[in-house]
Amino acid sequence: MEIDLLGPVRVRDGDRAVQVGPARQQCVLAILAAEAGRVVGVPALVDRVWADRPPAGARNLVQTYVARLRRVLVAAGADGASVLVFQNDGYRLAIDPEDVDLVRFRALVAAGDLGPALALRRGTPLAGIEGEWAQRTREALEEQWLLARCRYGEEQLRLGKPGEVLADVGELLAAHPLHEKLLELRMLALWHAGRQAEALETFRDARARIVGELGVEPGSELRALHERVLHGAPPAVESTWTARNDLPRVPNDFTGRDRELKWLSDTVSDGANVLTVDGMAGVGKTTLVLCAARLLAAGYPDGQLFLDLQGHTPSQRSMSVGGALESLLRAVGTAPEDIPDDVGERASAWRARLAGRRVLLVLDNAADVDQVRPLLPGAPGCLTLVTARHRLVGLEAAALSVDTLPEGEAVELFERAAGRRGAHGDAVAVAELCGYLPLALRLAGARLSNRPLWTDEDLVTRLRKGVDSGVAAAFTVSYEALEPLLRRAFRLLGRHPGIDITPHAAAALLDASVDDAEDTLEALLDVHLVQQHASGRYRLHDLLRQYALDLAEPDEPAAAVRVLDHYLYSANEADRQITGQARFTPVPDAVIAFVGNGMTWFDRELANLRAVIEFACRDNHDRHAWQLALTLCGYFDAKGLYASAVAVYDQVLPFATRSGGAGKVLSAKGIMHWGAEENDAARSALDEALRIAVAEDDRKAIGTVKLNLAALDWRIGEFAGATAHLDEALPLLRSLGEHRLIGNALNNKGIIHLRRGRLDEALACFEESLEARRIADDLRGEATSHINIGEVQTRRGAHADALGSYRHALDLAVGVGDRVMEAFALTNIGASLTSAGDPAEAIDHLERGAALFAELANRGELAATLAYLALARWRCGQAESARRDAERAVRIARAVGARYEEAKALEALGQVHPAAAEECLPVALRIFTDLGVSEADELRQRIGC
């Protein structure tokens, strides 16, 4: 049996439709089907069917409609009484939600399967049903359908079908002329069809109509798209969306709270989209909200997200707004390099990502209103549930304050946790001694379930021995019932500095094997002293963490050093997999996690690592602070997270200064400034790092810093300075046997030879560099060497060989997750294809390379890629697009002071736009000549100078 709401309401048994009955009877079925699996109270049914004008005896009419509907369901092959059930003064349609076309539509949209989703619509949703609820639901469904049509249109654009999109969006705009997402789609389609002028005209006409009819300016996204089209910047089609369910599980013994759950459900049904639940610690706010979220999840098919804001977590700062926004953006599929550094821009990006989607967001453990407000979605179709210990005054939200459990529910929860029933009077006494708090009741019940010979009276006796509050007494009973080793484990877990803990981290804390640590965590989980929120990841409730810290014994601070060692040397191993080098030698007996893929491990552990670095700084573990920060260097560089990296290195620099690591931190900081194209800041940091290295007579550090200074010099065209640095660095590095660094030095020296047209010398350097990198197991470096070997092959006209080198480099880059090298490889493949006479295929690679460099904020290489893209477009007859790309390349190169790239862009502009050749080419020649590169002679010969 299936129920269809996306058109006239109907019930089907396969292809056979069953008549539902009159309009109000259809309305009752539609309400229940839209909430399939959940109870809808009779008062809510009356309100939705008749709004504020219910007839006398409306409740009896609902009962009549339900009785008739049961007969309809029987006719469709279902058991009417068991499918449409009365429960808690309401009715529940007990069917698989997927049997309702509306639910299937939302699920297909969330999965990105847009074609089948759009095909489900048979006409106007809920056709023929009148009333405020039906109209409000119809309008919401219409908006969801339109947004799905827009997303489908974007998919078609990515497949190169702007003509089909324009035909489709034209029909939709005829019915919805002021719909801004449709207007954006039309402008995007016109752009992709090469009709920029019409795209701009669409905006002008739309703006005039919006201002004239609504009295407001168009929205920020439509205005931003207009700016991009106006300035010739290719508008980006929306990035990938990841629909996920992060909701932790609800305890099996969840008990009661029917009134609160009904309030939450009814309030959402009434249109509220931000709800707060406040109450004292341990009262069960999180569990209540998670239970509600599970019940409401079907209405939010684009994802259900959970984020602990750590507002009251002992020994940890509450999560910053910027950190929370970063976590949320990453959760919905935003690449790290696409996340803005500015907090305000992150908030805007978060709201933009949610536009047109239905997402359920749980913000747990909030500190205050200021922490929550920037995280709230702007989209009306989203729902946010917030928990906090106090009322969030000033937040526009429906608020529910949660008290302790009523006596009956408290007794029931205790008995369910204990797994047995005892004397009622003793159970009441336990509930009272536990303060009716769910957390304490679960602990007490777990304690009793593990002592089969105890009676409830025995437990009462032990609880009454406590002199603290009820919850503390329950903690004490659970703690004192543990074996000594488990007591110590619980105390030590309170000292863990991260967000959550894995068995490997627990093994370090406990000074135990990983298997024993996992068994310990599971034993503590069994008695509710830890929680498991994801497979292999555990954490303590805030109250239990504080209780564990209060129990800490004098000899236990050593555990902090062991867990710091765990994170340092695990990160060191992950870094080795990315960079090919191990920066530090692990101490004996350090617990090192099985890292697997280094990039994936850092992605998973980044929040923990940041918290651990902060802890190390706060507790004066100087060496661990700066060394752990250094292990992140390769990850930050590969991901393009330069601003985040600089902030980390600034944080740890004072601790490195007093413990002998300042030079290394400054060197890493310089590399990050270099990646961000902040040349002056990079030189300042590297010069200071070199001064320290010379003063300490650290030959490896001297060689490393000179390598980085050489890279900085050749970027700005100072080839003589770069060569001098490399000539000084290479003998040092060879004497030390530092193959990875030797490979870097030879690679950079080869680039200088290549720029000067010395192809034989360049190839020799690149091949020797490749061999050194293979010895060092430096896969990222190997990718770079293959790219540069391919450049020599391209210069010699061996395009097939060059393409082989570039594609091998691309495979290596993708394999290690290095997006920077991936962008270089794509760009070089595109340039080689253009030279080989296949500019059409080249365009795809160059567009992808340009998009990656733009995401990574690597503007110098973006300029170079745009210059190549201009030439490819020009050879495909796209003269206007080619001119725009070349002009943009010139602007970007000049803005970042990349002189070589500026000259290449000017040369491209002179070629694709002959009217500019007289002005551009002499300037390009002058720059090439100043740099002393081979392109000067080539260009001079071409223009006859």
Q: Within the chain, what is the greatest distance between any pair of CA atoms?
A: 105
Domain assignment present for residue 298? The answer is yes
**Tokens 């509306």, residue?**
102
Residue 366, pLDDT above cutoff 50? yes
pLDDT confidence of residue 543: 67
Per-position DSSP letters for 13-35, written without gaps between them: ETTEEE---SHHHHHHHHHHHHT
Q: Do residues 719 and 750 make contact, with C-beta atoms less than 8 angstroms apart?
A: no
Position 367: which residue type?
Answer: A
Is 275 in a helix, a strand, or coil?
Answer: strand
Per residue in 150-201, pLDDT (tens digit) is: 888 887 776 667 788 888 888 888 888 888 889 989 998 888 777 878 888 8
- Measured CA to CA, the distance from residue 918 to residue 906 in angstroms comes to 11
Q: Do residues 628 and 568 make contact, with C-beta atoms less than 8 angstroms apart?
A: yes
pLDDT confidence of residue 110: 61
Question: Which residue has better confidence, 336 or 664?
Answer: 664
Final residue in a domain of this structure, among 458, 481, 504: 481
Q: What is the mean pLDDT of residues 843-851?
A: 88
- Measured CA to CA, the distance from residue 786 to residue 807 in angstroms comes to 9
Domain assignment present for residue 679? The answer is no
Residues 783 and 802 reside in one and the same domain? yes
Domain assignment present for residue 596? The answer is no
Q: Token pair for residue 689?
A: 């790092």
Per residue in 297-346, pLDDT (tens digit) is: 888 888 899 999 988 766 667 888 988 998 898 888 776 656 777 788 78
Class of residue 55 by CB neighbours under 10 A (exposed 0-12, middle 13-18, buried 19+) = exposed
Confidence at 349, pLDDT banded by 50, 70, 90: confident
Domain assignment present for residue 237? The answer is no
Give which of 883, 836, 841, 892 is closest to 864, Cα–Cα: 892
Residue 238, pLDDT above cutoff 60? no
Residues 768 and 877 reside in one and the same domain? no
pLDDT confidence of residue 650: 94
Residue 904, pLDDT above cutoff 50? yes
Q: Tell me the Ramachandran region of residue 237: left when phi exceeds 0, alpha when psi lies from -120 to 50, beta otherwise.
A: beta
Domain assignment present for residue 686? The answer is no
Q: What CATH number has the domain bearing residue 10? A: 1.10.10.10
- Measured CA to CA, the distance from residue 519 to residue 530 in angstroms comes to 13
Residues 197 and 166 reside in one and the same domain? yes
Measured in residues, the chain has a length of: 945
Residues 749 and 827 reside in one and the same domain? no
Domain assignment present for residue 306? The answer is yes
Final residue in a domain of this structure, among 353, 385, 401: 401
Q: Token pair for residue 658?
A: 């007093």
Q: Token pair for residue 805?
A: 């080198």
Residues 367 and 253 reside in one and the same domain? yes
| Residues in CB range of 201: below 8 A, 6 or more apart | none
Residue 828, pLDDT above cutoff 90? yes
Residues 761 and 894 reside in one and the same domain? no
Q: Do residues 192 and 237 make contact, with C-beta atoms less than 8 angstroms apart?
A: no
Per-position DSSP letters for 900-945, written without gaps between them: HHHHHHHHHHHHH-HHHHHHHHHHHHHHHHHHT-THHHHHHHHHT-
Per residue in 561-590, pLDDT (tens digit) is: 999 999 999 999 988 877 767 789 899 889
Residue 237, pLDDT above cutoff 60? no
Strand partners, 2: 12
- Measured CA to CA, the distance from residue 937 to residue 596 in angstroms comes to 50
pLDDT confidence of residue 733: 92
Residue 794, pLDDT above cutoff 80? yes
pLDDT confidence of residue 222: 84
Residue 470, pLDDT above cutoff 60? no
pLDDT confidence of residue 240: 53
- Measured CA to CA, the distance from residue 236 to residue 907 in angstroms comes to 27
Q: What is the mean pLDDT of residues 916-939?
A: 88
Q: Do residues 819 and 337 make contact, with C-beta atoms less than 8 angstroms apart?
A: yes
Residues 208 and 279 reside in one and the same domain? no
pLDDT confidence of residue 469: 46
Q: What CATH number has the domain bearing residue 894? A: 1.25.40.10
Q: How far is CA 596 from CA 514, 575, 663, 756, in A?
A: 16, 11, 31, 42
Residues 390 and 257 reside in one and the same domain? yes
Distance of CA 839 to the CA centre of its chain: 35
pLDDT confidence of residue 786: 94
Confidence at 468, pLDDT banded by 50, 70, 90: very low
- Measured CA to CA, the distance from residue 442 to residue 822 in angstroms comes to 52
Q: What is the mean pLDDT of residues 268-284?
A: 86
Pairing, β 398-401 against β 2-4: unpaired
Per residue in 400-449, pLDDT (tens digit) is: 988 888 888 888 888 887 877 665 667 888 777 777 778 788 877 877 77
Domain assignment present for residue 562? The answer is no
pLDDT confidence of residue 558: 83
Domain assignment present for residue 611? The answer is no
Task: Count the domains in the chain.
Answer: 7
Q: How many CA atoms lie within 13 A of 858 on its CB side?
A: 28
Strand partners, 41: 90
pLDDT confidence of residue 319: 87
Pairing, β 537-539 against β 304-308: unpaired
Residues 381 and 440 reside in one and the same domain? no
Range ranked top by mean pLDDT from 73-87, 530-544, 894-908: 894-908
Residue 361, pLDDT above cutoff 90? yes
- Measured CA to CA, the distance from residue 940 to residue 6 in angstroms comes to 68
- Measured CA to CA, the distance from residue 876 to residue 194 in angstroms comes to 13
Residues 251 and 388 reside in one and the same domain? yes
Domain range spanning residue 428? Answer: 407-481
Residue 83, pLDDT above cutoff 50? yes
Indicate if the alpha-carbon torsion angle 629, 633, 635, 637 is positive or negative: positive
Residues 259 and 395 reside in one and the same domain? yes
Final residue in a domain of this structure, among 430, 448, 481: 481
Pairing, β 39-41 against β 2-4: unpaired
Residues 425 and 471 reside in one and the same domain? yes
On average, the pLDDT of the chain sits at 85
Q: What CATH number has the domain bearing residue 271? A: 3.40.50.300
Strand partners, 39: 92
What sections of 419-502 are H helices per DSSP? 424-433, 438-449, 456-464, 470-480, 484-493
Is 179 in a helix, a strand, or coil?
Answer: coil
